[in-house]
Amino acid sequence: MVNSPSRQPGSAFDAASGSPPATRLEVKDLQTWFYTRRGVVKAVDGVSFSLEPGETLGLVGESGSGKSITCLSILRLVPEPAGRIVGGEVWLGGADLLQLSRHEMEQVRGRQVSMVLQDPMTSLNPVFNVEKQVGEGSRYHLGLQGTGLKDRVQQLLRWVRIPAPEVRANDYPHQMSGGMRQRIVGAIALSSEPSVLIADEPTTSLDVTIQAQYLRLLKDLQEEHRFSMIFVTHDFGIVARVCDRVAVMYAGKIVELAPTQELFSAPKHPYAQALIQSLPDPDLEVEWLTTIPGQPPVLYDLPAGCPFAPRCTQAMDICREEYPPTFETGLEVGDGGEKAASHTAACWLYGEAGS
């Protein structure tokens, strides 16, 4: 059944003229596969997580672990025809996004869920000025025109701390610094005040100082506008600064999901442990950095069982036979005794086989 946005009372879609209400995102058993000449690549294979309003979830893992394809799948922007979402659900504001029509999905992109990409130079169009590009979302989704649209663009530029917005609105991307261009991309993403912002390594092209400023800006904007955020990164320093919880991905699956501080202090999955151990300690002088032995698996030719087994120092017989289910490894309990946050790992060490 197709869930029509307009038929969802109380849903995010009812607020066509104003800001969408803060909504929970729930991804269930998402599967996105690529059909290649060499075989089927299960780029995202059974990914599930939820995102509360105002929360930031970090998606971390090596290149090719499925972080970016998970995000593109939420927006249904998987490159076709090779890529296909073959299963799962993505719930937002009372609708399963994977069941919406193309037209309905166009209303969701930018309006409900926005994305900030790594490289502003490739996401900004060099032949249109800032006003045109920042204003597009407000024109399309909010129906603004003329002076109203101009004012809105200047307001958005002020949000992302662009000085003299009335002047800079007329600039073209090449007239701005890298940090400013990334802010412009941020203004575009926020132009329709989405419920969920997906930031895919948004600071990769920035130097360290500008990166820190941009992260601070994102957090400030999140506090002001209360959107939730999925932050894709391979930088644990950024994770520590920005994320409330972290999902560690390996070979298209989430292998560990935990509150950020807990992941750093007590990682459970051997892959997450190895990642944390490989972080350089600025107080120690070392000749060699610690690395994870072996190579990431070839996704069209995965071994049976746990794909990390060939690199895992704690692998058991069962690990090479069966993929482990997700085990609860620790539960954070709130002051009132309620379940506050869970810590899970897909690893046989936490099942009966490991005890």
What are the backbone angles phi and psi of residue 339, rounded to the nearest 5°? -70, 120
Nearer to ligand SF4, 118 or 273 (CB): 273
Instruction: Write down the least CB distance from residue 17 to ligand SF4, Å.
Output: 50
Instruction: Write down the least CB distance from residue 351 to ligand SF4, Å.
Output: 9
Peptide bond before 81: cis, by omega within 30 degrees of 0? yes
Nearer to ligand SF4, 122 or 291 (CB): 291
Diameter over CA atoms, the chain? 68
- The span from the CA of 13 to the CA of 113, in Å, is 12
Instruction: Write down the least CB distance from residue 98 to ligand SF4, Å.
Output: 29
Instruction: Write down the least CB distance from residue 354 to ligand SF4, Å.
Output: 7
- The sign of the torsion formed by the CA atoms of 272, 275, 279, 285 equals positive
Instruction: Write down the least CB distance from residue 135 to ligand SF4, Å.
Output: 49
Cβ-proximal residues to 258 (8 Å cutoff; 6+ apart), any chain = 245, 246, 267, 268, 330, 341, 343, 344
Count CA within 13 A, CB hemisphere, residue 54: 6
What are the backbone angles phi and psi of residue 200, rounded to the nearest 5°? -95, 100
Residues forming contacts to ligand SF4 in the complex (CB under 6 A) are: 269-270, 306, 308-309, 312, 314-316, 319, 324, 347-349
Instruction: Choose among 111, 84, 309: nearest CA to 194.
Output: 111
Question: Which 8-state DSSP code applies to residue 300?
Answer: G
Tabulate helix, strand, coil % of the chain (nearest 5): 35, 25, 40
Instruction: Write down the least CB distance from residue 49 to ligand SF4, Å.
Output: 19
